[in-house]
Amino acid sequence: MTDGTGGAQRRSGEFGHVPVLLRRAVELLGPAIDAAGGDAVFVDCTLGMGGHSEYFLERFPGVRVIGLDRDTEAIATATRRLAGFAGRFTAVHTRYDGIAEALDSVGIPARGGVDAILFDLGVSSLQLDEAERGFAYSVDAPLDMRMDGSSELTAATVINTYTVADLRRILSTYGEERFAAKIAAAIVRRRESAPFRTTGQLVELLYEAIPAAARRTGGHPAKRTFQALRIEVNGELDSLRAAVPAALDAVTVGGRVAFMAYQSLEDRIVKRALAERSRSRSPQDLPVELPGTGPEFQLVTRGAERATEEEIAENPRSAPVRLRCARRIAGS
């Protein structure tokens, strides 16, 4: 057992990133793992490069970790990183909404068989840092943005084939881009002469389409468009809507689940699901709560926690994070 994050963070540097909110994740999920003793099961629903899983494996010598990821490169990287924990770590190639099937495949009950679950949502450090995958607007790369390279839909397909109405919809809904209509129209006009192939071509158009005054505030002008395309290509919000209830079902009484969201669309889905499962279903005018209608979960965090200044200084990618955690207090 280790007392700090030093060992995990040293190895994180070797793999190109420092996992977000390591200490706080352990503070929130650790009590459930400790209570389960040597039979504890922890599911890392967003395995990535394995940083969070590594720390939990080090911190809790008896825990069994199941890591899920749709990205085969992430699975390979994390498996190499965690090779020293053979017998306690299993990687499963799946989206996080496949948690029930993943648990079944490794012999763990999909309802009530897990003690702690962690979601670290959004794009991973591995995906951001590999320029050729097209997630970053700061470098010119193919318009790809697939988290799973075996899937068919790419950002280039979206940009070059979607109607102006559909482009406007995804930019507005998934990117919350106030210039969605203007950008969508500009994309359709530009692609009539030649299809978009690289992120640089798209960024150039965005600088032209977004008014100069708006470009000076609110971060990089491509930020919202790239977010919208990534969400569309990977079906992220639909996957999350299915994954949250499945994860809550998987947690045993006394178990805990934590979510790290990086934008309001993700956080809103998590917040609503946790609120629904944390309230009583008894009629409000009854003097007592009916059996089986009480809340299943209790919120552990008060609202959404944010990263500290120290954490942000250590890991700038933690700046937008919103962290929520809940504990199961009753069976379904």
- The amino acid that residue 30 corresponds to is G
Cβ contacts of 282 within 8 Å, gap of 6 or more: 288, 289, 290, 293, 294
Amino acid, res. 91: A
3-class DSSP assignment, residue 221: coil
Distances (CA, A) of 167 to 14, 98, 173, 222, 234: 39, 28, 10, 15, 15
Spatial contact of 243 and 259, defined as CB atoms under 8 Å apart: no
Cβ atoms of 26 and 59 closer than 8 Å: yes
Q: How many CB atoms lie within 10 A of CB 46?
A: 23
DSSP state string for 45-77: SS-TTSHHHHHHHHH-TT-EEEEEES-HHHHHH
Nearest Cα neighbor of 147 from 137, 155, 158, 139 is: 155
Known binding residues for S-adenosyl-L-methionine are 50-52, 69, 96, 120, 127
Q: Which residues are CB-contacts of 141 (< 8 A; sequence separation ≥ 6)?
A: 131, 132, 133, 134, 198, 199, 200
Whole-angstrom distance, CA of residue 85 vs CA of residue 267: 32
**In 3-state terms, what secondary structure has residue 104?**
helix
Amino acid symbol at 133: R
Nearby residues of 112 by Cβ (< 8 Å), 6 or more positions away:
249, 250, 251, 252, 253, 331
Give the integer Cα–Cα distance in Å for 329 and 73: 37
User: Which segments are annotated as binding site?
Assistant: 50-52, 69, 96, 120, 127
